[in-house]
Amino acid sequence: MSSLPNPLPDAEAQCRQLADLIRPQLHRNPALVGIFSGGVWIAERLKELLGLSEDIGMIDVSFYRDDFAEKGLHPQCKPTVIPFDVEGRHIILIDDVLYTGRTTRAAINELFDYGRPAAVDLAVLADRGGRELPIGATYGVWNVELSGKQSLVLARQDDGQLAWRLENA
């Protein structure tokens, strides 16, 4: 893990790095599935960078969270859309930040409601450690250490570019 750089890394450059890591796997005909919202933005960017024609999938894990009873429904719940057959496919699940692993677990649970993929890989821009579940990224470009009171947030700016910001609780 590395400490937090100042300024924060260029998220667009990180998307290009992630595409370079995934490109050797294109022979497996992977389907991209982004986790709302940052993961969907990254999946859209990867589709473009990798020259893929198939639409991306989009997952909202709100109903699959193990803390749903505590937190309730997120006010910006989005519909899950999987526009391809999951059965037997190589799926690359995409998120912006990997932290405890609970969002990834929830996304995998929901994905299996659509069929049994041949394989599921995880691609993230940032891995901040702090795992509570045995989940790791197959593809990642930035290992970063944050305090428990800090959050790394990916935002899409008015011009469509992705950028990181740091929030303190």
pLDDT in tens, 150-160: 999 999 999 99
Instruction: Note the pLDDT tens digit of each residue in 120-139.
Output: 999 999 999 999 999 999 99
Distance CA 163, CA 169 (A): 19
Arithmetic mean of pLDDT, 103-126: 97
57 versus 150: which is more confidently predicted? 57
Strands 162-168 vs 150-156: parallel, antiparallel or unpaired: antiparallel
Q: Which residue has the tokens 């910006």?
A: 76
- Res 148: pLDDT: 80
CATH of domain 11-168: 3.40.50.2020
Domains of the chain by residue range: 11-168
Give buried/exposed letters for 22-54 (b at 16+ CB in 10 A, else e). Answer: beebeeeebbbbbbbbbbbbbbbbbbebbebee
Confidence of residue 68 (pLDDT cuts 50, 70, 90): very low
- Res 62: pLDDT: 82
- Res 66: pLDDT: 57
pLDDT at 56 over 80: yes
Say whether 108 sits in a helix, a strand or coil. helix
pLDDT at 77 over 80: no
Rounded to two decimals, the pTM is 0.91
Distance CA 98, CA 35 (A): 11
Distance CA 81, CA 27 (A): 24
Strands 90-98 vs 31-35: parallel, antiparallel or unpaired: parallel
